[in-house]
Amino acid sequence: MLTLYHCSSARSFRPLWTLEELGIPYDLTMLPFPPRFLKREYLELNPLGTIPFLVDGDARMTESSAICLYLVTKYGPTPLNVAVDEPAYGAYLNWLFFGEATLTFPQTIYFRYSQLEPDEKKNPQAAADYARWFLARLRALETTVSQSDWVCAGRFTAADISVGYALMFAQSNGLSAQFTPAVAAYWERLKQREGFRKAIAAQDRASAEQGVAPRVPAAT
C-alpha cells in the first residue's frame, strides 16, 4: 500500500489531497514539524528530513508536485491528469510546477523571517520583499482564474492542487487578505472540493490517532 509521510498542512498536503481526489487506499504517517529535528529516526527513511515522503513499492519520492503527477499518471486514467495529446498539456505542466517553484518558494522565506525564526533572527525586510514577490506572481493566476474556474483544460486537475496548496499556505501565512477578488473566489472553489475536505479530515484524524499535535508549519 502507498504510504505518505506528512506534516499537518505542509507541502505534503498536495499528495494527500491528490490521494483523496483519486479515492485510492493509502497509509498516512504523521510527523511533528520539523521532522528532521523532532523525529530523528525519520532521517533513516528520508536523509533530507523533509516532507512529503511517498513510498510506493520501490518508488521513493520527496517532491510534492512530482508526487501529484506520479499519482494521477500511474493510478489513472483520471480527469485530474492532462494527457500529452490534449491542447492544454503544456499549460498543465506549467501550472503544476508554478504552484511550487513560483508561488510556494517565496512564502517559505516570508514565513521563516516573519514567524518561524526567534525574534533576534527575524528579518522584516526579507519577509516584506518575499511577500511582495509572491503577491506579484499571483498576477498570472489572477488573469487565468478571471476567465475560467480552473487553471487549465477547462476542468479541475492536479495543477489546481499544486496551485491550491500555495493559496492554502498563503492563508496560514496571513497573506490571503491581499488576494484579488478572482483569486479569492478561486480559493473558495478549491476549498469546497470534496477531496480537499476529506484531506483536511484525514490529517486531523491521523494527528489525533497518532498523537501528533496539528500545527501549521512552514512548507519544507
**Residue-wise pLDDT tens digits, 4-25:** 999 999 999 999 999 999 999 9
User: Per-residue pLDDT for 215 more than 80?
Assistant: no
- Evaluate if pTM is beyond 0.85: yes
pLDDT of residue 164: 98
Domain ranges in the chain with CATH number 1.20.1050.10 = 88-192
Mean pLDDT within 115-144: 96
User: Per-residue pLDDT for 213 more than 90?
Assistant: no
Closest to 160 (Cα-Cα) out of 190, 139, 132, 135 = 190
Sorting pLDDT into bands at 50, 70 and 90, what band is 195?
A: very high
Range in 37-46, 107-116, 183-192, 208-217 with the lowest mean pLDDT: 208-217
Q: Which residue has the higher pLDDT, 37 or 41?
A: 41
User: Cα–Cα distance between 217 and 49 in angstroms, integer?
Assistant: 14
65: phi then psi, degrees, rounded to nearest 5: -70, -40
* One-letter identity of residue 79: P
Mean pLDDT within 183-200: 98
User: Per-residue pLDDT for 148 more than 90?
Assistant: yes
pLDDT of residue 171: 97
Which CATH fold would you assign to the domain 88-192? Glutathione S-transferase Yfyf (Class Pi); Chain A, domain 2 (1.20.1050)
Query: Do 35 and 213 touch, CB atoms closer than 8 A?
Result: no
- Where are any strands of DSSP class E within 32-183? 53-56, 59-61
Name the grid cell of 200.
Answer: 483536511
* One-letter identity of residue 176: S
Which CATH fold would you assign to the domain 2-79+196-210? Glutaredoxin (3.40.30)
User: Per-residue pLDDT for 119 more than 60?
Assistant: yes
**Helix 181-191 and helix 124-145: axis angle, to 10°?**
80
Query: Do 172 and 216 touch, CB atoms closer than 8 A?
Result: yes
